[in-house]
């Protein structure tokens, strides 16, 4: 998913560059998505990881901190295609997340943020 007019970063970067993350986080996201789709789930949407140089993710253009955790490349907003961004096969995803986490030695917390219509993934290496 793309950026907005308020967060497209330093000059010379393409407008949609809010997708920086640590390599182990990228591996986890790819493995989660692949296993979910292979288990009959729909395509998932990834948005708002971190800025390439870190810092405040000014999503609303007002320098507030709604994305205060999106600074180090270990957070991602992920949504499914279900109502309000839910995964259509939520129980399948709930089963996959800890399996991938154990295999990659990374703790993955993924609560659903109902007011924002997405899951907020937080990845913590062991």
**Mean pLDDT, 10 residues at a time, over the chain (126 residues)?**
51 59 90 96 87 68 67 86 93 94 91 84 85
Assigned token pair, 58: 């000014």
- Residue 62, CB-side half-sphere exposure with 13 Å CA sphere: 5
What's this model's pTM, rounded to 2 decimal places? 0.78
The whole-number pLDDT of residue 15 equals 55
Name 112's bridge partners: 119
Going from N- to C-terminal start, the domains of the chain cover: 23-125
Q: Which of 80, 84, 83 is nearest to 32 (CA)?
A: 80
The whole-number pLDDT of residue 113 equals 83
Q: How far is the C-alpha of 31 from the C-alpha of 35, rounded, in Å?
A: 6
Assigned token pair, 18: 């809010």
Give the total residue count for the chain.
126
Cβ–Cβ under 8 Å, residues 62 and 5: no
Residue 36: count other Cβ atoms within 10 Å of its Cβ. 23
The whole-number pLDDT of residue 1 equals 44
């Amino acid at each position: 998913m793309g950026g907005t007019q308020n967060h497209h970063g330093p000059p010379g970067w393409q407008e949609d560059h809010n997708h920086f993350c640590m390599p182990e986080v990228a591996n986890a996201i790819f493995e989660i998505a692949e296993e979910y789709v292979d288990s009959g789930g729909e395509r998932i949407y990834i948005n708002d990881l971190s800025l390439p140089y870190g810092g405040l993710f000014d999503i609303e253009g007002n320098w507030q901190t709604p994305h205060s955790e999106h600074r180090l490349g270990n957070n991602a907003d992920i949504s499914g295609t279900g109502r309000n961004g839910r995964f259509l096969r939520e129980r399948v995803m709930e089963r996959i997340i800890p399996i991938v986490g154990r295999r990659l030695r990374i703790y993955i917390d993924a609560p659903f943020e109902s007011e924002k219509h997405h899951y907020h993934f937080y990845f913590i290496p062991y």
